[in-house]
């Protein structure tokens, strides 16, 4: 059955920061340019001036608008009111596709979509975890609860989208083999992200770009930096770019270790600006799915030094010299030192640009996601009309 009429696509997620926000922005732009009507529903309490500017960039592509409601990070009774309020807002938009991203976005999209289905609205319900709840372990009570909820929600899900092989495999290990349809669709970056960014004349040796929270490993970066100085035998320089709840703690850590003048801190900014400040991008995460910062760094021609977690080996190459053991600042320091003292290290460690572009481009990602939407709607026996039958 044809799906020629433009689809009405609504993306639901909690926090408009980081990789999920980047992923959704790319899908919004690509699908809007393809003639579809797209909207966003997300939290109203997170984000700052930087995120506001990113929203301003994509507003022309948001035919279904930007809807913001308070969505807490932690699970609480207040979620019930949010779910009801969200359902009413979603119903008024008459979506053909509800795509939830991250744990909270996945709950909202699938519950609202299922309520619409009960009321005889035709809507496809999709979920992309982006790591999220898959970081939990079955060994804790909270982890058991979260993972069991993921399993339960499969009954309200038309398709699961995995952004890397790692995410697909960890889902099967911790939640179980999916009972619903699945697709592996890699994150991708746009054409403008595949432009080499030269470093400034006052560039530092290393840069960290991302959320300032322990999951992303800024403390490991500080530890490894000090050890890399000892390996190289001279003072080095670095920048940490980003915002987050633990910013002050990392600043205190640097000052206590006498690194305050050699590691600077700057607020979140466009990655293109940050990349101009160093050739070497360090990604010391304790857990990841498929982080955009790695793809963006590769597209910009940067040297990536990253922990072997999540889908990062799928982007850098599973045998890459740039991969280090997670939670190991000694190993991280060794590779950081090699990146600046070993001639030809970049070329030996980084994958060819052509290979990166063929697999991790936004156009490939958006086309595959759109095909999945259309396949699901065809099976439901609809041409993309989300009005009640």
The CA-based angle 193-361-277, given to 5 degrees, is: 25
Give this prediction's pTM.
0.85
Give the pLDDT confidence score for residue 220 in this predicted structure: 98
Nearest of 115, 114, 113, 153 to residue 133 by alpha carbon: 153
Give the pLDDT confidence score for residue 289 in this predicted structure: 85
Parts of the chain belonging to CATH 3.40.50.2000: 8-188+361-380, 192-358
β-pair partners for 334:
none
Q: How far apart are CA 163 and CA 119, in angstroms?
A: 31
Mean pLDDT by 10 residues, the chain (389 residues): 76 89 95 97 86 93 94 68 85 96 92 90 93 83 90 96 95 95 95 95 97 94 98 98 93 95 94 97 94 96 97 96 98 98 97 95 96 94 50
φ, ψ dihedrals at 233, nearest 5°? 85, 25
Instruction: Provide the 3-class DSSP secondary structure of residue 198.
Output: coil
Structure tokens at 188: 């991708």
Give the pLDDT confidence score for residue 47 in this predicted structure: 80
Would you state the CATH architecture of domain 8-188+361-380?
Answer: 3-Layer(aba) Sandwich (3.40)
Give the pLDDT confidence score for residue 86 in this predicted structure: 86
Nearest of 143, 58, 72 to residue 104 by alpha carbon: 72
Q: How far apart are CA 172 and CA 87, in angstroms?
A: 30
Q: How far apart are CA 115 and CA 374, in angstroms?
A: 21
Structure tokens at 301: 């021609």
Dihedral in degrees, nearest 10, Cα atoms 341, 205, 256, 232: 10
Q: How far apart are CA 30 and CA 34, in angstroms?
A: 6
| Residue that has been written with the tokens 């002050």 in this structure | 248
% helix / strand / coil in the chain, to the nearest 5? Answer: 50, 15, 35
Buried b (16+ CB within 10 A) or exposed e, 131-149: bbbbbbeeeeeeeeebbee
| Residue that has been written with the tokens 């932690």 in this structure | 74
Give the pLDDT confidence score for residue 74 in this predicted structure: 65
Give the pLDDT confidence score for residue 265 in this predicted structure: 97
Would you state the CATH architecture of domain 192-358?
Answer: 3-Layer(aba) Sandwich (3.40)
Q: How far apart are CA 172 and CA 194, in angstroms?
A: 33
């Amino acid at each position: 059955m044809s799906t020629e009429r433009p689809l009405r696509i609504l993306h639901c997620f909690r926090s408009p920061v980081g990789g999920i926000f980047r992923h959704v922005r790319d899908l919004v732009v690509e699908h809007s340019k393809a003639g579809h009507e797209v909207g966003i529903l997300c939290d109203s309490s997170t984000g700052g001036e930087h995120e506001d500017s990113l929203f301003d960039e994509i507003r022309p592509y948001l035919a279904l608008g930007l809807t913001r409601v308070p969505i807490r990070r932690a699970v609480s009774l207040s979620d019930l009111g949010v779910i009801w309020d969200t359902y009413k807002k979603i119903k008024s938009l008459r979506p053909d596709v509800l795509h939830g991203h991250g744990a909270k976005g996945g709950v909202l999209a699938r519950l609202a979509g299922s309520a619409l289905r009960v009321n005889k609205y035709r809507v496809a319900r999709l979920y992309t975890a982006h790591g999220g709840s898959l970081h939990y372990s079955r060994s804790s009570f909270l982890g058991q609860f979260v993972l069991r909820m993921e399993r339960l929600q499969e009954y309200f899900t038309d398709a699961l989208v995995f952004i890397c092989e790692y995410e697909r495999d960890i889902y099967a290990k911790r939640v179980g083999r999916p009972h619903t349809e699945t697709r592996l669709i890699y994150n991708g970056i746009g054409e403008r992200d595949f432009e080499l960014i030269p470093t400034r004349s006052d560039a530092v040796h290393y840069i960290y770009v991302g959320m300032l929270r322990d999951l992303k490993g800024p403390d490991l970066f500080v530890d490894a930096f000090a050890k890399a100085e000892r390996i190289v035998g001279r003072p080095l320089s670095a920048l940490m770019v980003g915002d987050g709840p633990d910013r002050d703690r990392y600043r205190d850590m640097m000052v206590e270790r006498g690194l305050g003048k050699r590691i600077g801190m700057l607020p979140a900014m466009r990655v293109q600006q940050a990349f101009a400040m160093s050739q070497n991008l360090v990604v010391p995460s304790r857990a990841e799915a498929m982080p955009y910062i790695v793809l963006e760094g590769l597209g910009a021609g940067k040297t990536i030094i990253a922990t072997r977690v999540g889908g990062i080996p799928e982007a850098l190459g599973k045998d890459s010299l740039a991969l280090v053991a997670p939670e190991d600042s000694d190993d991280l320091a060794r590779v950081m030192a090699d990146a600046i003292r070993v001639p030809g290290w970049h070329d030996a460690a980084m994958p060819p640009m052509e290979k990166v572009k063929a697999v991790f481009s936004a156009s490939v990602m958006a086309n595959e996601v759109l095909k999945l939407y259309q396949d699901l709607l065809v099976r439901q026996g609809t041409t993309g009309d989300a009005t009640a039958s």
